Structure 1
Amino acid sequence: MNWEQLLSLKRFGDTNKRLRKEQDETRLGFEVDYDRIIFSSEFRGLQDKTQVVPLSKTDFVHTRLTHSLEVSVVGRSLGRKVGQLLLKKHPHLENVHGYRMNDFGAIVAAAALAHDIGNPPFGHSGEKAIGAYFKEGNGAEFKKHLTEKEYQDLCDFEGNANGFKILTESRAGREGGLRLSYATLGAFTKYPKESLPKRPTNHIVDKKYGFFQSEKQMFEEVATELGLIKRHGDDLSYQRHPLAFLVEAADDICYTIIDFEDGINLGLIEEEYALEYLINLVRGKIITKNYNALNTTEDRISYLRALAIGTLIDEAASLFMTHEDAILEGQFETALLEVSQYKAQITDIINLSIKNVYRSKEVINKEIAGYEILNQLLKAFGKMAFHYFEDTMSSYDKLLLNSLPETVKLCHDSLYKNLLAVCLYISKLSDTNAMLLHKKLQGQIL
């Protein structure tokens, strides 16, 4: 892979090549991506979606929106730091092509901003609930009408693939979705492969998948433009865009440190343990006089959090440059922080968060409720989508169909497209709106 291709400004529908040196310096092409994402209705919907603690009314606790904004800020810093180092190593990128370090920051910031845009209500339990409906619930009856890969898309419903769909799906008045640059779409796609075949490897790309069958052609176009390396013969599986490693690192940094902070502020993790774990990560960087002047838990945690994030940004940038050649050759197979000198400290923090936060009764009880809510929504709308496909709509089905937004389009020639349309609709619901719709289906007049 080479940076000249990887930094492509091309957008869906472009016929002429966009050049960096022709860009308006007041609003660079990659910065337009950020603007389009942040003004999209799908991004705004993240304000009422679970990050860790579902339906929390506490101001301290992060939603998907605040989490995405923080990941984007970390991603911008990380991208700029790496960009500065890359331009020193590859001066022709600046001298010949006109790229600046801020371009790298803008790409990573935009991709990071969108990284959770495809996540359904109620956190990762929402993804599992959708998959379970098709694998084990009423949705299993649709298998005979779908190809193997189409059915796998639904059984392993993936927020990353759903995000790629949201960013790129054409609809009336919005050809090419948000029309983001291919560089940003490449950096967004952490798992550049389809849902099948599943490969039992430790390669980071094989962990999940990044696009549905419905966006297969679009992703191939993006991958070809960027010059991504094909991994397996006939399989649609590619090596990552190098900047996807930075998007992933920004996300890893934020959920490691900030989910931990949420657990502290909720009283799920005791302060004395929290301080010890964070101090282990930033030992030698604390200014004792400044730290001892802090009187509240919140201030002490904030101080250590800032130090921890700064430390891990520097570490991730250094690791990226150390392994840049291997990354460009498609020979780097793990997340950056997996090879960090701080891996032991990061693992300790994550394990404590898993034990005290992710598996707390508050989280588990609300995830159980979310699981049931999404199952009931899929049961009603999935059946309606099937009846539309077969042209056997009941009066109730027609009521459900008329309740859908105008952007949800069903067809008579593809059950797969209908089921994906329903999943996309449900995935865009906020936690609160999913609950309200569930109550409506139960016959409660709101």
Structure 2
Amino acid sequence: MEWSKLLCEDRVRSIKKREGSNDLRSEFEKDYHRIIGSASFRRLQDKTQVFPLDQSDFVRTRLTHSLEVSSFCKSLGQNIARKILAEIKDESFLPSYQQDICDILQCAGLLHDIGNPPFGHFGETVIREWFKNKLPDQEFSGKPITEILNPQMLGDFYNFEGNTQALRVVSKLHYLVDEHGMNLTKALLATIIKYPVSSLEVDKKSPDICCHKMGYYYADRELFNDIQESCGLKGRRHPLTFILEAADDIAYRTADIEDAYKKGLISFDLLVRELESRCFEDQSDKIYRQLLDSLKYRYGKGIELGVSDPGEYAVSNWVVAVQGKLIYLATEGFAANYKSIMDGSFGSELLEGSGKVYGSKTQEEAGNSNDGGDNSGDRPDNKEHVAEGKHIVDALGEIAIKYAFNSEPILKIEVSADQILTYLLDRLVPAAIHFDTDSKLRPIDSRMISFISNNYKKIYQIYSEGKSEEEKLYLRLLLVTDYVCGMTDSYAKRLYQELNGLI
């Protein structure tokens, strides 16, 4: 892969630059302002991060989480660009690219969760399970829908992902000027495609993490191919995607602990005990002991300063320190695996630090590549240090699952989310199946369809024109998932209550 192509400024709909324009922004800076000003981005303020419909001003939403990811993305971009220029010395990476990758990553951080449905990742699960369990019971023109749609169309619903929906939101559904959505640069679109495979190519057991989830819908296949071609990706992840994923991991793993503390689900003493219980594992003792000592030090500092809650002071400051450590480790991870990332054979996450290579090249062949200059090889001396990142994020994740995700308030909300989303899909899908056909809609179906945004229906009309009846049916089902994913937590709850006469 070549940086000159990876940082592609082209847009799907080209825009002519006006002569004499005073706009000195780069194309990637323009992307940032398009995102910030969009309704889709603003709706993230009422979408779940961990605690749905929470009344606390402190607890994070998808909006505040996305802002944090964007910030970490920029920091990682700065660190990694400087490393490429000063240490790796890849001659194809021009000094001007440093600002470009920071701008792209900053935008990607804002967008990475923009396709998520209401109620967080549990909402994704409910949607997947609905289609797996109930789509086989739906019929069109006397035939089961599962016998009408092709395997990839069916796979899109069975493997539904908010990540996949993000590309659809920004490239189509945000109807501002035309059917191209926000019309963002191809480099940015490539960066937010975390898994460059279709629903037919998903392999959750593959050692190559890039195959674990689908990255684009059948409906967006032409756009995906265009992006891949323009950026020279050849079916692999954009290098900046690894940085985006690391920033996301850093943000949510640390934030979950802080939010759980603020909600009273974990105390300072419990956090200390959890870290102490990990201090006697042979391979990881040093890492966990450093985390524990750092946390205790900050508690003592809080007492010394006379703060009212030394535990809160310690946890909040410790989280910031852990974030700094993980940013350093992710930077080292990118540098250590630079060649395999750039030739497309790297198949792990930066914080795993495994340096595994998947694809056509072996680890040895990747190390002998000339892609990155004379000093850019996968560096074994960094592997041990980089692997610390995996131990840290795994520990934080295990603690969060134990005390936050399995807590009673979360479980109750998830049961409610299942009820809400299942009810809406039960009524929207049958209505959409016969929408825009010769079949006469039942009164209840026409009313359900009327709730769907006119912009979404406009997009359906544009992209269904001239398509086969099979693909039109598929697009009508996508119209439902588009509508549901565009809902905020509060809107989904309110619509459910209104339709059930509860308010």
Q: Considering the TM-score relative to the shorter chain, is it more than 0.5?
A: yes
2-structure distance, mates of 1:302, 1:219: 41
- Cα deviations across residues 351-380 of structure 1 (Å, max 9, x unaligned)? 111111111111111011101101111111
Match of residue 189, structure 1, among 193, 214, 218: 193
- Secondary structure of residue in 2 paired with 1:132: helix
Instruction: Answer with 127-136 or 137-146: which moved more.
Output: 137-146
Say if 2:215 is the partner of 1:210.
Answer: yes
1-structure distance, mates of 2:305, 2:249: 30
Say if 2:158 is the partner of 1:169.
Answer: no
Match of residue 272, structure 1, among 259, 269, 288: 269
Superposed, which structure 2 residues align to 1:302-321 within 5 Å? 302-321=316-335
Task: Show the counterpart of 2:69.
Answer: 71
Identity of aligned residues (%): 33
Does the C-alpha gap of structure 1 residues 122 and 161 become closer, same or farther in structure 2, counting only changes over 3 Å? Answer: same
1-structure distance, mates of 2:22, 2:132: 50
Q: Which amino acid aligns with 2:185?
A: S
Q: Which amino acid aligns with 1:197?
A: E
2-structure distance, mates of 1:343, 1:24: 47
Say if 2:163 is the partner of 1:149.
Answer: no
Q: Which amino acid aligns with 1:191?
A: Y
Kindly report the root-mean-square deviation, in angstroms, between the aligned alpha carbons of the 2 structures.
2.4
2-structure distance, mates of 1:58, 1:362: 14
Tell me if the contact between 1:78 and 1:317 (Cα under 8 Å) persists in the aligned partners. Answer: yes
Does the C-alpha gap of structure 1 residues 303 and 138 become closer, same or farther in structure 2, counting only changes over 3 Å? Answer: same
Q: Which amino acid aligns with 1:317?
A: T
Tell me if the contact between 2:201 and 2:211 (Cα under 8 Å) persists in the aligned partners. Answer: no
Task: Show the counterpart of 1:6.
Answer: 6
Instruction: Answer with 292-301 or 344-353: which moved more.
Output: 292-301
Task: Show the counterpart of 1:235.
Answer: none
1-structure distance, mates of 2:202, 2:76: 32
Say if 2:396 is the partner of 1:349.
Answer: yes
Which 4+ stretches in 1 moved above 3 angstroms?
A: 23-26, 275-292, 410-413
1-structure distance, mates of 2:109, 2:434: 38
- Cα deviations across residues 94-122 of structure 1 (Å, max 9, x unaligned)? 36xxx242221111111111000000001
In structure 2, runs of 5+ residues without a counterpart are 139-144, 276-287, 354-386
- Secondary structure of residue in 1 paired with 2:341: helix
Q: Which amino acid aligns with 1:185?
A: L
Task: Show the counterpart of 1:338.
Answer: 352
Q: Which amino acid aligns with 1:149?
A: Q
- Secondary structure of residue in 1 paired with 2:435: helix
Q: Which amino acid aligns with 2:477?
A: L
2-structure distance, mates of 1:209, 1:253: 23
Superposed, which structure 2 residues align to 1:246-395 within 5 Å? 246-274=243-271, 277=275, 280-281=290-291, 292-293=304-305, 295=307, 296=309, 297-339=311-353, 340-390=387-437, 391-395=439-443
Q: Which amino acid aligns with 1:157?
A: F
Match of residue 405, structure 1, among 428, 445, 453: 453
Task: Show the counterpart of 2:501.
Answer: 443
Task: Show the counterpart of 2:364.
Answer: none
- Cα deviations across residues 423-446 of structure 1 (Å, max 9, x unaligned)? 1111110111001111222134x4
Q: Which amino acid aligns with 2:432?
A: A
- Report deviation, 1:35: 1.5
Tell me if the contact between 2:201 and 2:214 (Cα under 8 Å) persists in the aligned partners. Answer: no
Tell me if the contact between 1:408 and 1:425 (Cα under 8 Å) persists in the aligned partners. Answer: yes
Does the C-alpha gap of structure 1 residues 240 and 138 become closer, same or farther in structure 2, counting only changes over 3 Å? Answer: closer
- Report deviation, 1:299: 2.2
Task: Show the counterpart of 1:232.
Answer: none
- Secondary structure of residue in 2 paired with 1:137: helix
- Cα deviations across residues 111-163 of structure 1 (Å, max 9, x unaligned)? 11100000000111111111111110256423223111111111121101110
Say if 2:485 is the partner of 1:427.
Answer: yes
2-structure distance, mates of 1:91, 1:371: 53
Instruction: Answer with 281-290 or 100-109: which moved more.
Output: 281-290
Task: Show the counterpart of 1:159.
Answer: 162
2-structure distance, mates of 1:436, 1:15: 40
- Secondary structure of residue in 2 paired with 1:338: coil
- Cα deviations across residues 275-322 of structure 1 (Å, max 9, x unaligned)? 574873385796898554362233222211111111111110111011
Tell me if the contact between 1:76 and 1:106 (Cα under 8 Å) persists in the aligned partners. Answer: yes
Does the C-alpha gap of structure 1 residues 103 and 140 become closer, same or farther in structure 2, counting only changes over 3 Å? Answer: farther
Does the C-alpha gap of structure 1 residues 198 and 91 become closer, same or farther in structure 2, counting only changes over 3 Å? Answer: closer
Tell me if the contact between 1:120 and 1:127 (Cα under 8 Å) persists in the aligned partners. Answer: yes
Tell me if the contact between 2:78 and 2:102 (Cα under 8 Å) persists in the aligned partners. Answer: yes
Instruction: Answer with 130-139 or 316-325: which moved more.
Output: 130-139
- Secondary structure of residue in 1 paired with 2:101: helix
- Secondary structure of residue in 1 paired with 2:249: helix
Tell me if the contact between 1:82 and 1:104 (Cα under 8 Å) persists in the aligned partners. Answer: no
Task: Show the counterpart of 1:105.
Answer: 102
Number of equivalent positions: 429
Task: Show the counterpart of 1:93.
Answer: 93
- The TM-score with structure 2 as length reference comes to 0.80
Match of residue 245, structure 1, among 233, 242, 246: 242
Max Rg structure: 2
